[in-house]
Structure formats: C-alpha cells, structure tokens
Amino acid sequence: MHVVGALLALLAFAPLGVGALLLAGAWRLAAGVLRAGIALFVGLAAGAVALPPLLYLGLSPTLPVVLLLGALVLGAGVLVARRRPPRSDDRPVRIGPLGLLVIAGPVVLLAVDRVQTRISNYDAFSIWMLKARLLYRDGGWFLGALDHRAFAVQSIAPPVHREYPLGVPSLVAAVMHGSRGNVPDAALLYPVLLTGFAFVIWLVLEPRVPRLPLLAGLSLVLWLPVTRELGLAATGDLPLGVFFVAAALLLGIWFVEETPGTLPLVALLGAAALACKRDAIADCGVLAVLALVETARLRRPDLARRLAVALVLMFLTIVPWRVWVSVHHIRNQDVGIGNGHLSSNVHHLGWIVSRLWDFLVGRGYVGVAPLAAGLAALALVRTRQWRLPVSVLVFGAALFAALILVYLDATAALPYLVHYSGERTVFPLCLFSASILPLLLVRALRAGSDP
C-alpha cells in the first residue's frame, strides 16, 4: 500500500505539469501517453522550483499544498491557452508500444529494486533523505515544515551540507505523505523522473532520427550503469542530470526550429536543475553563455531578447534559496568561486583532468562522452552540416572545463573531493552525450546535406 500511495502522490504533480505546459504553449508538442508522461515530468520540475520558496514562506510540502498549487497553475494555464490563437502546423509527437516497452523494461526493474533496497548511501542518508524526513515530520498539512533550528549545527543530528538547495527533499517529502513516511517507496520519484526524461528524449529525437537508432539510444541511456546506480543512491545527482539535459535538448530544437513553447520549458527545467544541487550553477552557466554566444552569432535581436528573459528568470529562482542560506548563516561549503584557492590548487590541474577522464571512460559511463565526441568529429568531416557536431563538441568541452575550474577552486581536500564526487559531477555531461548519440550517429553516417 505504501507503493500505491507513493505513486498516487507522484501523480498529484500532474495538474501542475499540465498547467505549466499550457502556460508555456507546449501542450501540443506531444500527444497521448507521451504528453501525459511529459506533463508529470514538467510537474515535478515545477514542484522542485516552487516548493522551496513556499517552504521559506512557511508552507509545507504536502499533497494538499501541491494540489492547490497545481489547481492555480492549471487554471491560469487554461485561461492563457484560450486566449492563445490556434496553430495550424501542430504535429504532436506520439510514442508507440515498442517505445513504451523499451522504456518500461529498465525503469520497472529500477523501481522494483528501489522499493526493495534500503537507502544506505551516506550522502542520501545524511543529506537528501534526512532533510526530506525533517520536512515531512516537522510541519502540519499546510504550515510549518521548515524549522531552521532542525537544520542548525546545534540540533541533535543536523543534515550534512545544510547549504544544498531543497528542491529534491521537498519533492521526496511530498511523496512521503503518500507513502506514510516510507522513504524507499517515496524514492520512486527517481524511476519516475527517469521515465519522464526518456519521454523528453523521444519528443526531441523521434521526428529527427530513424526508429532503430532512437530505440538503441534510449536503451543506452536507461541501462547506463551510473544511471541505475544514481537512481538507487537517491541523491540529488539524477534529478539534476535529467532536468539539465532535458533543458539542453529542448534549447537545441528551439535554436534550430524556434519550436513554440520550448523556451519557457528550458527556463523551467534549468531552474529545476538549479533547485537540486549547487553543481547546476556551473552547468547552467555554461549553457547560458553558449546560448547567448549563439544568438549573437545569428544576429537575431528578437531571439536574443527572448533568450535573455528566459535565462534571467531561470537564474532568479535561486535568489530565495541564497537569501535563506545567508539569513541563517549556513556556510559549510567545500567549493566556492573567488575563495582564493585557485592559485594554490593550479598545480593539481593535470591530476584533476586525469581523474575526471578516468571517470568518463570507466565502467560506469562506458565511454559515452568520448564516443559522442568521436561521432561529432566524424560528422564534421563527412557532412556539410557543421552546426550540430560543433555545438556538441563545444558544449561538452565547456562542461568539462567548468568542472575543472570548480575543483581547482575547492576548499576541501582536493584528492578526497575529486575521488568522492568526480564520478557524479560528470553525470550531466555523460547523460547529454548518451542522449545525443543517436542524432550524431545518423549525421555521421549520412554524407552530404541532412535536413
């Protein structure tokens, strides 16, 4: 019964997702089961963004609050959608039984293992799930969940890394109200997020990639060893990765086709990644800088204005979190730009690059990032279409360089920090590489122009 309650609690985010899709103008991008799955994924992203500020204002991450928030957003979305003129070029993407079967296999196995496996990962136990337990037990149905005294150093068992954002703990705490406090069942959030991410990949690639490479690419993403490992670990890394890479993929099709509704989704999903972990600041910063460079290259002031507004709104969502952390003097962080450690760590540059490269080519990621780079280089040589392969190469290199800079500016013991966190921090880069592989493969093997 706890499993059923957790699944019903997850479905409570669907109205919020439907409302967000209607507000963004993205409701008709997909149809059928695909639309329903993407609506739930977007609803969870909106919950990760909206629930923490509500916590700071005194509300609790409970199902009544989620449903009330969803009703408000859905009502606003319906009103906006009615005023929006209909488009005659709508061709919603659908997913068939074969695609659903390819997605369901690994996700169902992960879900079964998730509910049967105790959460033993130290980070999950001491950070993410401990915060979720505090938010679940400390408040009422509507008010009082965030008691900063429970997060203080003087409390009996304060969470480690109290400065981390509260997006993931807020989602887990809401689902715990359906699972009656059972944490492993509430962690069904992770297979559901992975399913929604697979639907986003299908939405982006299905009109652009033949069926067989698409199914193979989806299988690679879902069976990737680290994907399963992070899904079972129940930390903030999987949510960060799926939200960030979904934003990057949708930004790509917005640049190429100016697909209506995708840019607001980029801002929402990027904000959801920022609500999961501080690592997303570097990732989203890279995405923002390269996107602004691309609009400057295109010399389209209209695109630049729309993109700038979306990016500003995306980064503004971290302000409530930063204010709350500052007000309560929470500063136990192990990295931080401008802390003066860059010069003292620069002699470790070669070692950092070597260790991160070991993770990229190791067992967990089966070399998907170098493979994507190789296919991009091959596509660049064989075709006259340079925009995709160059974008992939530059984006991947920039993400890798950003990681190196973050580690160079570390305040904690560098060998321990890289060894302990490196395999997880390269997850967004490798997840993006695995997701884009089908498109790169098709482009590399097709000589000549490819529309």
Q: What is the DSSP string of 17-54?
A: HHHHHHHHT-GGGB-HHHHHHHHHHHHHHHHHHHHHHH
Please state, in angstroms and rounded to a whole number, the distance separating the CA atoms of residues 242 and 228: 13
pLDDT of residue 449: 46
First to last CA, the chain: 50
Please state, in angstroms and rounded to a whole number, the distance separating the CA atoms of residues 410 and 418: 10
pLDDT of residue 339: 53
pLDDT of residue 329: 79
Please state, in angstroms and rounded to a whole number, the distance separating the CA atoms of residues 449 and 451: 6
Note whether 307 and 194 are within 8 A (CB). Answer: no
H helices of 120-188, where?
122-123, 129-138, 167-176, 183-186
Q: What angle do CA 393, 399, 405 make, to 5 degrees?
A: 130
149-208 pLDDT, tens digit each? 666 666 656 777 888 899 999 999 999 999 888 888 888 999 999 999 999 999 999 999
Average pLDDT for residues 115-139, to the nearest whole number?
Answer: 85
Structure tokens at 221: 């993403």
204-243 pLDDT, tens digit each? 999 999 999 999 999 999 999 999 999 999 899 999 999 9
pLDDT of residue 155: 61
pTM score = 0.95
| CA 239 to centroid of chain Cα atoms | 5
Sign of the torsion formed by the C-alpha atoms of 379, 380, 383 and 389: positive
Q: What angle do CA 171, 78, 23 make, to 5 degrees?
A: 60
pLDDT of residue 355: 92
311-363 pLDDT, tens digit each? 999 999 999 999 988 887 777 666 655 555 665 677 778 888 999 999 999 88
Q: Label residue 51 by pLDDT band (50, 70, 90).
A: very high
Q: What percent of the chain has pLDDT over 70?
A: 92
pLDDT of residue 66: 97
Structure tokens at 256: 């190429």
pLDDT of residue 451: 45
The residue that leads in pLDDT, 339 or 60, is: 60
Structure tokens at 354: 């070597």
pLDDT of residue 21: 97
CA-based nearest residue to 224, from 432, 443, 440: 432
